[in-house]
Amino acid sequence: MLSNNSDFKKLLLVHSRDRRSHLMGQELNNIPSLIIKMESKIKLEKDTIAAATQDLRSLETQNSSIEKEINSITDQISRNKNKQLEVKKNEEYQALEKEITNLLEQQSSKEDLQIEVLVKIDGAKETAEIAKSKITEKVESLEIEKLGLIKRQKELQIETEQLASELEDARSDTEEILLKGYDRTKKVVSRPPYIAPLEEQKCTGCNLRVSNDIVSSVLVDQKLTHCDQCGRIVYCER
């Protein structure tokens, strides 16, 4: 039985390190996209704060503009009242009075508008403060996650290099004929495991029942035997 063969046990070590390398490679390949997603989330949260702040600034700018208009109207009213003290004709006085009345109506309208804007400013300030408080905390949490991913990426890069060396050592210590059979299997099987033990006449790689001939070959032959369902190398652990 090949599974009792010391050379096959060396092949199992190759396979074990190969599987670890595959899993680590998958994790390492996924990290850049995870970092990009994290950065997108961070940007979205920061944009929300910026939008709330921009709304507040727009309202404050609008209020400032209204304030200037009110001041300008007030100045015009004051000038017209001063002119009334100087004019001698009743027609001129009445014309100024009419203009003052129109200006007072404009002033009242602007003051009403300013009150509405000031109410909106109070609401916008509260919204901006709440958003900043909640989102800042969320952004900090996302930044920590991002740093964790970057740290894990660096760790995996080091571990992958180390494992590649260990895998090469294991391969150099394994019989060439077994390695060739193993490498052919890797090309046929889409993903690990490439070697799987039999349990109750089932391949644990695909979980399907193998034929009696395969079981007999595993128990008797001193060569690699493949699952007749998935193509993985199969063996008995006992």
pLDDT tens for each residue of the chain, 238 residues long: 565 688 899 999 999 999 999 999 999 999 999 999 999 999 999 998 888 889 999 999 999 999 999 999 999 999 999 999 888 899 999 999 999 999 999 999 999 999 999 999 999 998 888 888 889 889 999 999 999 999 999 999 999 999 999 999 999 999 999 999 999 999 999 889 999 999 999 999 999 999 999 999 998 877 899 999 999 999 998 6
- The torsion region of residue 224 among left (phi > 0), alpha (psi -120 to 50) and beta comes to beta
| DSSP letter (8 states) at residue 173 | T
Q: Is the peptide bond before 192 cis (omega within 30 degrees of 0)?
A: no
- Domain co-membership, 114 together with 161: yes
Do 235 and 130 belong to one domain? no
Clarify whether residues 150 and 35 are in a common domain: yes
| Confidence at residue 12, expressed as pLDDT on a 0 to 100 scale | 96
Residue 3 buriedness (CB in 10 A; 0-12 / 13-18 / 19+): middle
- Put simply, whether the predicted model's pTM sits higher than 0.85 gets the answer no
Q: Are residues 167 and 210 in the same domain?
A: no
Is 153 strand, coil or helix? helix
* 223 part of a folded domain: yes
Looking at the structure, do residues 105 and 128 belong to the same domain, yes or no? yes
Choosing from 156, 173, 190, the residue where a domain stops is: 173
Instruction: Copy the structure tokens of residue 177.
Output: 């004929």
- Res 131: pLDDT: 84
Q: Would you list the DSSP string of 35-81?
A: HHHHHHHHHHHHHHHHHHHHHHHHHHHHHHHHHHHHHHHHHHHHHHH
**Residues 165, 91 share a domain:** yes
> Are residues 166 and 202 both part of a single domain?
no
Residue 76 burial (CB count, 10 A): 16
Pairing verdict, β 195-199 and 202-203? antiparallel
Q: At what angle do helices 176-188 and 6-86 cross, to 10 degrees?
A: 40
Range of the domain at 134: 15-173
CA–CA distance from 12 to each of 112, 128, 185, 229 (Å)? 84, 61, 14, 21
Do the domain assignments include residue 86?
yes
Q: What is the pLDDT of residue 66?
A: 96
Domain boundary among 173, 192, 224: 173
CB distance 189 to 232 below 8 Å: yes
Tally of domains within the chain: 2
The torsion angle over the Cα atoms of residues 229, 230, 231 and 237, rounded to 10 degrees, is -90
Q: Please give the pLDDT value at position 2.
A: 64
